[in-house]
Chains A and B, each alone.
Chain A
Amino acid sequence: MSEVNQEATQEAAQVAEVKAQPKVFYSEIVENGLWKQNPGLVQLLGLCPTLAMTVSLVNGFSLGVMTAVVMAASNASVAPIRQWVPTEIRIPVFILIIAALVTIIDLSMHAYLQSLHAVLGIFIPLIVTNCIVLARVEAFAAKNPVVPSALDGFMMGFGLALVLATLGGVREIIGKGTLFSGIDLVFGPSAKSMILTIIPDYHGFLLAILPPGAFIGLASLIATRNWLAQRKAAREASAPASATLIAH
């Protein structure tokens, strides 16, 4: 008798805890995903696809957008059922949902976007192993309602996509002298005219295309981001007249 009461109180406490979470502002969610908690430059999660797939802007951005879609979908799938997932099995259940969603996206791309699917190859199913997907599901979707969770997932993924696009673009320009190469795989053969040749008659800089170039490129981006953030904080610290709070 008392065990039934105990369990009922425990469940009621869990539900109450979930409902009692403070409201998160949408602008904060957007700012976190794109800048403050950017997965690629701040949290440094999911570095394997970041380093391997950024040989061109199109490759990097496509994979980033795929990741954002997966993250929005998985966050939106977990948020509504978050009260029914016992804490002990939350990780297997979240991974199950993420893996199912990624498989669905993989099959759909294979059926309807086969050229892009062939280019991204094994990195589509590898989205499941990208830490950032599970991290957001556990840190956010498990504790927040559907709409903020979906937005958080998409913004984190999009923040990563922007980093992938930037890194891919820089490596492509320095390594091959072009920009947007591969765009015909996304928009069809007629899009080939959109490919820009930034440096004509370029023999290429192989280092930028190979892994060392990826590491050096990402390091430069992280350093730039940190420098900009510190500069902003210093400027705000030396202007106490304006009543704005110091952002971290």
Chain B
Amino acid sequence: MNPTILKHAVKTAWVMIAFTIVSTLGLAIIYHSTKTPISKAEAEVRMRLFGQILPTDLYDNDLLQDAIKQPVGGDLGNRDETMIHRARLKGEPAAVILEATAPDGYSGDIKLLVAIKATGEIVGVRVLDHKETPGLGDYIDIAHSDWIKNFDAQSLEKTNDDAWFVKKDGGQFDFTTGATITPRAVIKAVHKVLKFYQAHQQAIFETASGQPLAQ
């Protein structure tokens, strides 16, 4: 190969390497300096979300610390590992906050956050994420309607297993005509969450923080 071309190519390669090193250094610095503010910001978002469904006077512990791992799938149907947060008042179990996923929404997964009192009564439910059609199925989102508040104070004692459906299917839950698949998915998922809580109630509160839920 012509030595001039080789020399030029090597010089060009060094210039590229120099730019890469400088950029990487710059990025590494920014990454480290924003790491703490980012995790703080995410914790704030999380706590604000919890605050919507669990009033702060019901517990006195650190919700983010007092949490155990819930593996993928199972009755809660989550695609990733999630955390189950335990709320305690003066050391006694007060409530839990869990994530669940309804796989049968009209346009895919609907992610839910559910807060249940230790007695098994729902304190509140919120939709975290969904792909439902805007203007049709998105009324499950609190930003668009109060429908999700239908679950407040619900429990397995209050409503029989055969009533956990939309009114059209013989159950007792309201729905909007023309968008039935969406609320069906949410009601089914919330019902499953209550059953899950009933089955694992003791284990949920007794497993040590940071550990996976004892099966």
Seen from chain A, the residues whose Cβ lies within 8 Å of a Cβ on chain B are 3, 6-7, 84-86, 88-89, 92-93, 96-97, 99-100, 103-104, 107-108, 110-112, 114-115, 118, 204, 206, 209-210
Most chain B CB atoms below 10 A, which of A100, A103, A210 = A100
Q: A3-B7, A104-B30 are in contact. Are A209 and B134 (CB under 8 A)?
A: yes
On whether the beta carbons of A108 and B23 are closer than 8 Å, the reply is no
On whether the beta carbons of A96 and B34 are closer than 8 Å, the reply is no
Checking B7, B12, B27, B44 against A104 with a beta-carbon cut-off of 8 angstroms, the contacting residue is B27
CB neighbours of A6 from chain B (8 A): 4
- B8 within 8 Å of A (CB atoms): yes
On whether the beta carbons of A93 and B16 are closer than 8 Å, the reply is yes
The 6 tightest CB contacts between A and B, nearest first, are A111-B37, A114-B41, A100-B23, A111-B34, A3-B4, A107-B34
On whether the beta carbons of B16 and A7 are closer than 8 Å, the reply is no
- B135 within 8 Å of A (CB atoms): yes
On whether the beta carbons of B38 and A111 are closer than 8 Å, the reply is yes
- B3 within 8 Å of A (CB atoms): yes
Across the interface, name the chain B residue whose C-beta is closest to A107: B34
CB neighbours of A7 from chain B (8 A): 4, 7-8
On whether the beta carbons of A108 and B30 are closer than 8 Å, the reply is yes
Q: What are some 30 contacts across the A-B interface (CB < 8 A)?
A: A3-B4, A3-B7, A7-B7, A7-B8, A84-B15, A85-B15, A86-B12, A86-B15, A89-B15, A93-B19, A96-B19, A96-B23, A97-B19, A100-B23, A103-B30, A104-B26, A104-B27, A104-B30, A107-B30, A107-B31, A107-B34, A108-B30, A108-B34, A110-B34, A110-B38, A110-B41, A111-B38, A204-B135, A206-B134, A209-B135
Checking A84, A86, A89, A114 against B42 with a beta-carbon cut-off of 8 angstroms, the contacting residue is A114
- B56 within 8 Å of A (CB atoms): no
CB neighbours of A100 from chain B (8 A): 23, 26-27
A97–B44 Cα distance when bound, in Å, is 32
CB neighbours of B23 from chain A (8 A): 96-97, 99-100
CB neighbours of B8 from chain A (8 A): 7
CB neighbours of B19 from chain A (8 A): 93, 96-97
What's the least CB distance linking A131 to chain B, in Å?
21
- B20 within 8 Å of A (CB atoms): yes
14 A-B pairs besides A7-B7, A111-B37 with CB distance below 8 A are A7-B4, A86-B15, A88-B12, A93-B15, A96-B19, A100-B27, A104-B26, A110-B41, A111-B38, A112-B37, A114-B42, A118-B45, A204-B135, A209-B135
On whether the beta carbons of B12 and A89 are closer than 8 Å, the reply is yes
Q: A97-B19, A100-B26, A114-B45 are in contact. Are A3 and B34 (CB under 8 A)?
A: no
A130–B7 Cα distance when bound, in Å, is 35
A165–B46 Cα distance when bound, in Å, is 31
Across the interface, name the chain B residue whose C-beta is closest to A94: B19
A212–B164 Cα distance when bound, in Å, is 38
A71–B19 Cα distance when bound, in Å, is 19
On whether the beta carbons of B41 and A210 are closer than 8 Å, the reply is no
On whether the beta carbons of B3 and A3 are closer than 8 Å, the reply is yes
CB neighbours of A108 from chain B (8 A): 30, 34
Across the interface, name the chain B residue whose C-beta is closest to A99: B23
From 1 to 20 in chain B, residues with beta carbon under 8 angstroms from any chain A beta carbon are 3-4, 7-8, 11-12, 15-16, 19-20
